[in-house]
Amino acid sequence: MLLLLEQCLNGLQFGLLLFLLAAGLTLVFGIMDLVNLAHGSFYMVGAYFAATFVALTGSFVLGAMLALAATLLVGMAVELIAIRKLYGRDHLDHVLGTFGLILFFNELVRLIWGPAGMNLPLPPYLSGSIEILPDVYYPVYRIAIIAAALAVALLLYLVVMRTRVGMLIRAGASNREMVGALGINIQLLYTFVFGVGAALAGLAGLIEAPILTAQIGMGENILIVALVVIIIGGIGSIRGAFMAAIFVGLADTVGRAFLPELFRLVMTPAAASALAPALSSMLIYLLMAIVLVLRPQGLFPVDRK
Amino acid sequence: MSAFFTARSIVIGALLVFLALLPVYVVATGQFFPLTLFTRIVILALAATSLNLILGYGGMVSFGHAAYLGLGGYVVGILAKEGITSGFVQWPLAIAASVLFGLVVGALCLRARGVYFIMITLAFAQMIYYVAVGLDRYGGDDGLTIYRRSQFAGLIDLSGKVQFYYLCLALLIAAIFIVSRLVDSRFGMVIQGSRSNDRRMRAIGFPTFRYRLAGFVIAGMMCGLAGALLANHTDFISPAVMHWTRSGDLIVMIVLGGMGSLFGPLIGAVTLLMLEEGLSRVTEYWQIIVGPLLLFIVVYARGGIAGALAGLHRG
């Protein structure tokens, strides 16, 4: 029971992390109609920036802030230089162009920071565990992740639902041409949204860096999971991305923890230990395939009139 | 296609002559490295050719095509590990496994369109990737060494570098020929028509789903064979073969060479892998050049190399 609770918290934390990645991806997808495979690169860049700035400044929070700002700038620069040319093109072009960006960023990071990964040490106040229930200890850092990501999600919700910029973003997601026709500087909006999406991915990266260390190619696998999230949630929908991210995070984490046990109930231990890990890694892709077959527009589609 | 000696046909002809004569040079100089490199290029060109059938002609952007490379490879690897080294068993089984996978995946994926199709093919490729990672008996994440190449009862010895190279080249040429026949057939016309306007094709009475599924399966079949070749070439198979970035590489080859052109995938495979090889000698950080180059081609040279060559003549 306690294990389940702990795994659920882990799943929630992973889900929120996925949401940070998926939010930017789904906005860019929904508004600019752009498949951005290079989104994972911002995740990686954010982690490296954080490791560098934290080491330079000696402060975790200050370093993280600087890393976020730097990732935002990198994202906007990439939009201005490269991504802008891809709007309105075929999805295949997006896949290829941004695939090229992944290669570029991986090598750039290797050139600047070297092939070895970078550690991001946690400050004392974030390391260690606290007692969340009598006799149940949980790492402080993971709780901080959950709190921070929830705060960001709330902030994002408020910005998107309650501000003028957010209104434009929502309008852009449902009808791009109309927003442009009404005299909004759509180019500027695009650059802004892309930069914010990159910064959110960078935030996810810097959050993961202390747990997994910053390394080259770290964004590639998680990017695919984030794509799964936005497909399940419905492209362009922040709410959908949030729900789907939590769902996928929980399914993945809890599945990995409990599928072996479940399988052992119905088959021999040898077969269970062979089958369960593969199946639990496949679980989220299976979910996505089922969603796509039954409800191709995702669970929470944006209304497109 | 009016003039015989277009820039395109000269380049393709030269390339084919080069590929055919490469072993002669290699045997004469005793430098076997180029042959190893080009065996790999030819095998990957076969994989890219198969993908081009559905991507270039059918408009189906499958982002999980490397799954078949792994599938074919794993069939060879697993059978070899279990003591069945006969190629007459291994290769047909590799193809059969690919057909089965293609049928199931295709039947599900082809309901989706556009970016959803890209994502769902990717999802299935990821699934089979993780299945391979989970195969503890067959090396799991670390992969599986194949100690004996497929045996063909003395007909052909795959350990002979030159023989193996010619076999791969022959299969590649055969695949290109099959694709060329398919594309010009009624079947190919339906697939191409469905790329331009699927609704109209259905309205005039073609059950396009079946045609596209057949195309999807044929492409998978060829790529499964390429997987069997690749496993024999490297004497090794691991999940890395089907990592999603490998599927990306195959698409890159096609677009680099020219989508929907017969020899485009071959030109693309040669270009990409030679570029890799050449640049990695100049600088360790060669991808920093290839990445932006790719972006440049996507933005400014959609037709790829084959398209540029055709354009040379037209302009």
Domains of chain B from N-terminus onward: 7-314 (1.10.3470)
- List per-residue pLDDT tens for chain B, 315 residues long: 455 677 888 888 999 999 999 998 888 988 888 899 999 999 999 999 999 999 999 989 999 999 999 999 999 999 999 988 888 999 999 999 999 999 999 998 888 888 888 888 988 898 899 889 888 888 888 889 998 888 888 788 888 889 999 999 999 999 999 999 999 999 999 999 999 888 999 999 999 999 999 999 999 999 999 999 999 999 999 999 999 889 999 998 998 888 888 999 999 999 999 988 888 888 777 788 888 888 888 888 777 777 777 766 544
In chain A, which residues have their Cβ closer than 8 Å to the Cβ of B292?
A: 100, 104
Evaluate whether A164 touches A184 at the Cβ level (below 8 Å). Answer: no
pTM: 0.87
Domains of chain A: which residue ranges?
2-294
Q: How far B96 CA lies from chain A's nearest CA (Å)?
A: 23
Q: How far A63 CA lies from chain B's nearest CA (Å)?
A: 27
Please report the residues numbered 80 through 99 in chain A whose beta carbons come closer than 8 angstroms to any beta carbon of chain B: 82, 85-86, 89, 91-93, 95-97, 99
Q: Please give the structure tokens belonging to residue A80.
A: 């201005």
A91–B118 C-beta distance less than 8 A: yes
What does the pLDDT look like over A94-141, one tens digit per residue? 888 998 999 899 999 999 998 888 888 888 888 888 887 777 788 889
Q: How far A100 CA lies from chain B's nearest CA (Å)?
A: 4
> Within an 8 Å CB–CB cutoff, is residue B119 touching chain A?
yes
Q: What is the mean pLDDT of residues A229-257?
A: 90
Buried/exposed code over A172-207 (b: 16+ C-beta within 10 A; e: otherwise): bbeebeebeeeeeebeebbbbbbbbbbbbbbbbbbb
Tell me if ipTM is over 0.95.
no
Q: Which fold has domain A2-294?
A: ABC transporter involved in vitamin B12 uptake, BtuC (1.10.3470)
In chain A, which residues have their Cβ closer than 8 Å to the Cβ of B251?
A: 92, 95-96, 99
Confidence label for A12 from pLDDT (cuts 50, 70 and 90)? very high
pLDDT of residue B1: 46
What sign for the dihedral angle of Cα B7, B8, B9, B14?
positive
What does the pLDDT look like over B251-261, one tens digit per residue? 989 988 888 88
pLDDT of residue B213: 95
